[in-house]
Structures are given as structure tokens and as C-alpha cells.
Amino acid sequence: MSAADTHLVVDERELVAGTSLWQDAWRRWRRNRVSVVSAVVLVAVMVFCSVGPLAAELLLGATYDGQDISLGASAPSWAHPMGTDVLGRDVMARTMHGGRVSLMVALVATAVSLLVGVTYGAVSGFVGGRVDAAMMRFVDLLLSTPYLLLVIVLMAVIPPSSVSIGGLDGSFVLMFAALGLVSWLVLARIVRGQVLSLKQQEYVEAARAIGVPQATILFRHIVPNTLGPVIVYSTLTIPSVMLSEAFLSFLGLGIREPQASWGTLVSDGANAMVVYPWLLLAPGLTMTLTLFCLNFLGDGLRDALDPRQGET
């Protein structure tokens, strides 16, 4: 083997396999211990809220709506680890059920927000011109109106019984629609800005040159490249929606009895926190932990998906 051949072999051995943006982001995210721990805690909370009610019913005979007036508001014990409320209902079972409701409302409302916001912002930025100007002025008009005022008016005007779907309570449907249809505004502006920069890229010009339909260019080639900011915004939207749901439930406009959410449980606990502090501590601490983890996870994903972060 000649010296030149030996040199080529050495160079081939020194080649490093290329990595994609998502692989780099995954590597950077794993190094963020706070974000990783937050993701693990979130999974534990979801398991606690999804499987917990069944386990509590099988092991302790406790359900979220089962009443035992003779117990009253009893302090935590082996039979009721988080105590009971004034109607003798197990607080742990209601906290788990309330978490299931709050997470479901937040996830569905965020999904509605993503569907509307991504579509609206992508079309606005891609079409441009007067259509873009008109669509963005509509967004500015809605953004100038207080966020919660729109939700409160919508939920106060429309009776829950009129929007019931199948066996799903009308208050759930209203909550999904109200929170989802007003939380897409900022996302639409973010996606529009991304599309405005991406539609000038060479691969988009090449797709136009070979006659690819406009809708295909937008939704197959441009929108997937906006997923980084969209994913980050989604993780930050979920805690915002959860807080809004809790606030509405605190005002009596959210989930109705006998259903429970973390917002309604915090509202009930706040009214009796001086005498029965465990009614507030259990749902309040669980909700606070979940919100902290969602925000830490969002921060970690933002840093991981930002190519400017580079390797540390």
C-alpha cells in the first residue's frame, strides 16, 4: 500500500457521521438536567392522574364523588392519605381526577390553538400582500381585547347544555372551545414570521420552478420547518391554559360539580384553608409542581431547538 493510500485510509477513519437538527437538539436537551427531570416528573404526574383514580378505588375504595358525611373534613390518615373534604370525599381521589380534567382541558385547548394558529399564520405569511395585512389586523383586533374577557363572555352567553356532545358535559366543550379559540393569536404571529423568512429560501424557489402546487409547498415544505418554535410555544401554552382554566373555575365559570379540576379544588380549599389546610395543600402543590415542570421543560426545549446555542 502506497503512502497516498495510507493517507486516504486515515482520512476515512477520521470521518464523523453527520447529524440532523433534531439529533443535535436531542443531545443538547439531554444535557439540560432540569428539563429532563421536569419531563420525568410530568410523566409521573400524568400516570398519577390517569391510573391513580382506579388504583385508589381498588385499594382504598375511594372515588372522586363518593361521599361519607360521617367523616366530614377529616385530616390525612392511612385510609385517606390527603384527608377528606367537608362532604367526606377523598381529597387524593379528587386531586387525581381533577388533574385528569385539568390536563385534558389544557391539552385539547392547546391542540385547537395549534391547529388554528399554525394554519392561520402559515396562510397569512405565505399569501402576503393585502390578504396578509387584513388577516394580521384581525389578529391585532383580538389581541387588543382582554384575553379572559373574551372567554368569560363566551362562557356566560352560551349555556353549557346547548353544546353537549354525546356524553361529554357541555362545560367541557365550552372550556375547550373558549380557551382554544383565543389562545392561537400569538402562535399565528410566530408562524407568520417564520413563513415570511422561509418562503424566500432556495428549496422553495426550486419547488415553484418545477411546478409544485402552492398548498403542497406551504404544508409539506414550509410548515414542517416551523415546528421548532411551535413545539416550544406549545409547552409554554399548556401551563397558561391550565392557569386560565383554574381562574375560570375559581370564578365559578369552569368545571361544574360533581366534576372537579385543580382550579375548583383550589377554590374550595381557599375558602376553608384556615380551618382545613389540607384541602388547599394537596391540589395546590400538585398544580404548582406541574406548572413549574412545564415551564422548565419549555425552557429546555427552547434552548435545545435554538441552533445558536451551539455546543457547550
> CB 122: neighbour CB atoms within 10 A?
22
* Domain boundaries 34-70+80-309, CATH class: mainly alpha
Which pLDDT belongs to residue 42? Answer: 92
Give the whole-angstrom CA distance, residue 158 versus residue 298: 34
What's 274's DSSP letter?
T
- CA angle 302/193/216 to nearest 5° reads 100
| pLDDT for residue 40 | 94
Question: 88, 69 in Cβ contact below 8 A?
Answer: yes
Q: What is the pLDDT of residue 3?
A: 47
Q: How far apart are CA 223 and CA 106, in angstroms?
A: 23
299 contacts: CB under 8 Å, gap ≥ 6: 35
Contact 103, 175 (CB under 8 A): no
Question: Domain segments of the chain: what residues?
Answer: 34-70+80-309
Q: Between vectors from CA 140 to CA 136 and to CA 142, what angle results, nearest 5°?
A: 115
Side chain identity at residue 161, one-letter code: S
CB within 8 A of 230, min separation 6: which ones? Answer: 114, 118, 187, 190, 191
Phi, psi of 165 (to 5 degrees): -120, 110
pLDDT for the residue numbered 15: 42
> Residue 29 has which C-alpha cell?
436537551
Q: Could you give the angle at the alpha carbon of 106 between the alpha carbons of 105 and 111, nearest 5°?
A: 100
Tell me how far apart the alpha carbons of residues 260 and 73 are, in angstroms, rounded to a whole number.
17
pLDDT of residue 134: 93
Residue pair 47/80 in contact by the 8 Å Cβ criterion: no
Q: Quick one: which H or E segment has residue 71?
A: none
- C-beta separation of 62 from 92 below 8 A: yes
Q: What is the pTM of this model?
A: 0.75
Exposed (0-12), middle (13-18) or buried (19+): which is 254, by Cβ within 10 Å?
Answer: buried
Can you give the pLDDT at residue 227? 80
Summarised one tens digit per residue, pLDDT across range 44-61 is 999 998 888 888 888 877
Residue pLDDT, tens place only, 222-264:
888 888 788 888 877 888 888 787 777 777 776 777 778 888 8
Q: Is residue 218 within 8 Å of residue 123, measured between CB atoms?
A: yes
Q: How far apart are CA 136 and CA 117, in angstroms?
A: 12
Question: Helices (DSSP H) in the chain: which residue ranges?
Answer: 3-13, 21-30, 33-60, 91-127, 129-143, 147-157, 170-180, 185-198, 202-209, 214-216, 227-250, 262-271, 278-305
Beta bridge partners of 90: 84
Query: Which segments of the chain have a pLDDT < 70?
Result: 1-21, 155, 159-172, 254, 306-312
144-156 pLDDT, tens digit per residue, is: 877 777 777 776 7
State the cell numbers at 232. Answer: 416550544
